[in-house]
Chains A and B, each alone.
Chain A
Amino acid sequence: MSDSQTVVPTSSHDDVHSPALLHHFATEEQQKDASNLGMWIFLATEVMFFGGLFCAYLIYRRWYFGDFAAASASITVWLGALNTAVLICSSLTVVLAIWAAQTSQRALLLLMLALTMLFGLAFLGIKGIEYKQKFDEHHVPGATFSFDHEEIPSQPGHYANPQHAQIFFALYFIMTGLHALHMIVGLGIFSWLFWMAWKGRFTPEYHTPLEIGGLYWHFVDIVWIYLFPLLYLIDRHS
């Protein structure tokens, strides 16, 4: 193989492309596909991140089913169900926002982004109410934790082991807390998307940040879709 020739840096801008095209990509399509794949892979890491918690949950729910059921019965199920509905609505507003960008409807886009964030704030607000309830009932793990004399739903007369119930609450707070943290990051992302939309940066040809921000938001919704039955609905029928 012969030696290379004198270098000519490639910075020709002969082709007309979106100002958002980064120089190391050959085409806008390549950049969009790369961003999309990148976000999906990031979501894969998030699945495994939450996955470790689901593993711990699975093991202890099996071992301490009665105690977990008693603990689960003490969290307010309709608040959890409401929050599930809130997130589902927020996922709808996200896809509607993207559709608005695809059809050049700036006002609708901004409205949908704002609604998404509103739903997100509502979710966090309801979560705050739930956490306060747990705090007031001394169900927050740590020095102030107490869970005495709580009946196991399927075994009347038998009471839950407070230490095992504390494990439930530890997992409850860590799993929903981590989820809420992701929600807050999501709100930050959507604030930035709102600002970009306000500035008119999105067109039917280019709205990749909306799409990948949307992917992240839907993932956060999916995590909650699993958290709700697993945390709130252990043995509610006894």
Chain B
Amino acid sequence: MATAIVSPVEREDYLNKEYGIASWLLTTDHKRIALLYLISITFFFFIGGFFALLIRLELLTPAGDLVQADTYNKLFTQHGQVMVFFFLIPSIPAVLGNFLIPLMVGAKDLAFPRINLLSWYLYIIAGIMMLHCMLTGGVDTGWTFYTPFSTAFSNTKVIEAGLAIFVSGFSSILTGLNFVVTIHRMRAPGLTWSRLPLFVWAHYATSIIQILGTPVIAITLVLVVAERALHLGIFDPKLGGDPLLFQHLFWFYSHPAVYIMILPSMGVVTEIIPCFARKRVFGYMFVALSSIAIAVFGFLVWAHHMFVAGISVYAALVFSILSYGVAVPSAVKVFNWTATLYKGSIHYDAPMLYAFGFVGLFTIGGLTGLFLSALGIDMHVHDTYFVIAHFHYIMVGGAVMGYLGGMHFWWPKISGKLYPEGWARLAALIVFIGFNLTFFPQFILGYLGMPRRYYQYPPEYQVLNVLSTAGATVLAVGYLLPMIYFLWSMRYGKPAPDNPWRAAGLEWTVQSPPTTFNFPEQPVVTWEAYNYDEIDKDYKEEAQVVG
């Protein structure tokens, strides 16, 4: 490996170009904004995790003895709201997407850098509103805000929480808008759609959902706030309103929202797997188009959350069939990842461990989604821990593991430092074990009939709950480790070369960390994506010449 021409300490990059708080808070550099997001979402991850900790502590014993019932309602509500709106939805797009997309398409920045900064400020304002809401009484309606409880009966701060999420929605919309325009208008010469990294395709699909779906929940929250404040009757049965209309409007966004949470993670995994298998992605176009298919199909299935809510059986049939359909493009991806691994030269670095974990856990989570799409089964397990296990397998076993894998993979590029590989592999293993111990028992609990959102339960469910809480403790350790060693590496880590993984992609052609404007001159792309066979051939030739 050639050494850097200038020693890293003297080289200018986006981190040392300017110092001072103003240079961060008024930055328009997409890389700095990504770091601002990184700090903010990590903060909210702790908050959401804190609520989870209290939930799991309460559920150690069958009796409701840690907190009161009303408090428990606030715990699971706020855990859900914080994790969904303030952690999962922004996480990969706002951190890794913001950082990498301009680099991956060969641009100096996103299309609208100031709107990017505005997006972060909207997120922060929303976060402050949410924190204030939680500190001054909280909200207990469930993250789903179902009416008429939220509009007419709840005594908690529904309006404030609704408005906070409304503001966070606009942060999400602006991020999506920025990505779509960037990907269409700012690709480097030669970078055709079929040469784009699949991470970019995944974020394109995610952005479509953010753009088209988020406004619907925004207006729905406006209606909830208006109804609660003015007693309008839009969702109140006593005044002629239909509570199910709220659910239709809510889930029209909130179902595609789960694809906002998983698609970027799939994009990360699709970058990691070819790199650590040293192979091109099997079926590039299938993977690219399956991302778009997931985005489109994801808009057609929302009422599968409402099978037992009171919709007509005929509508339920339609949505059930469509829900089976949405699993197909996800399965396509799993097949393609597997085929990419086949006969590859597998390396078990930490990013790859997370990617393996993702593929297995996402498959389980996705398959259990099919269980839930079947009306007969859903009648039985709706609103039980089966559903909770299903979505945590996808959100935590899938999305969060993809996020961690991506953070490890691109950490050298982002920080210019190497994280300690031994600790990272250990942490990945702890996360995997802790995760399964936490959530697998919940499938069984749900199947056996334990309802969700209950703070007390019959004694026969205790053993599984104790296992789940034990797993949560292990998982927490697994999450803390990367936070500690990433911070450690910023001070004490080995300086990273430009391309420690010998990975394909324009982001690896610039220095680690990159300069503010990314590329010394406009790159021109003449190679296909994931050209690992060429990269490894070049490397072998170089090694032969040197050796």
Contact = CB atoms under 8 A, between A and B. Distances in A.
CB atoms of A and B under 8 A apart anywhere in the complex? Answer: yes
A42 B510 CA distance: 33
A59 B242 contact: yes
B487 interface: no
A8 B520 contact: yes
Given A10-B519, A37-B180, 11 more contacts: A4-B511, A6-B6, A10-B520, A34-B186, A49-B216, A49-B219, A52-B219, A141-B230, A141-B232, A167-B233, A171-B234
Interface string B1-31: 1111110000111000000000000000000
Interface of B: 1-6, 11-13, 107-113, 173, 177, 180-181, 184-186, 211-216, 218-220, 222-223, 226, 230-234, 239-242, 245, 248-249, 252, 497-499, 502, 508-511, 515-517, 519-522, 535, 538
16 contacts: A3-B1, A3-B497, A4-B509, A4-B510, A7-B511, A9-B517, A10-B517, A24-B110, A38-B111, A45-B211, A52-B220, A55-B248, A166-B239, A170-B226, A170-B233, A170-B234
A59 B242 CA distance: 9
A64 B240 contact: yes
A20 interface: no
Category for how many chain A residues contact B: 35 or more
A78 to B, nearest CB: 28
A207 to B, nearest CB: 19
Contact of A3 (B241, B248, B498): B498
A55 to B, nearest CB: 7
A9 B516 contact: yes
A14 interface: no
A163 interface: yes
Contacts of B109: 24
A129 interface: no
A46 B212 CA distance: 9
Contacts of A38: 111-112, 177, 181
Most chain A CB inside 10 Å of its own CB: which residue of B213, B226, B497? B226
Contacts of B212: 44-45, 48
A136 interface: no
A45 B177 contact: yes
A1 B509 contact: yes
Contacts of B5: 3, 5-6
Nearest to A165: B240
B394 to A, nearest CB: 25
B216 A51 contact: yes
B175 to A, nearest CB: 12
B520 A5 contact: yes
Contacts of A105: none
* Chain A contact surface mostly: helix
A33 to B, nearest CB: 6
Contact of B185 (A10, A33, A143): A33
A1 B538 contact: yes
B107 A24 contact: yes
Nearest to A22: B113
A1 B502 contact: yes
A219 to B, nearest CB: 13
A44 B234 CA distance: 25
Contacts of B245: 55-56, 59
Contact of B215 (A3, A30, A51, A64): A51
A81 B181 CA distance: 38
A167 B184 contact: no
A92 interface: no
Contacts of B233: 141, 163, 166-167, 170
Nearest to A49: B215
Contact of B498 (A4, A33, A143): A4
A41 B2 contact: no
B511 A167 contact: no
A170 B173 contact: no
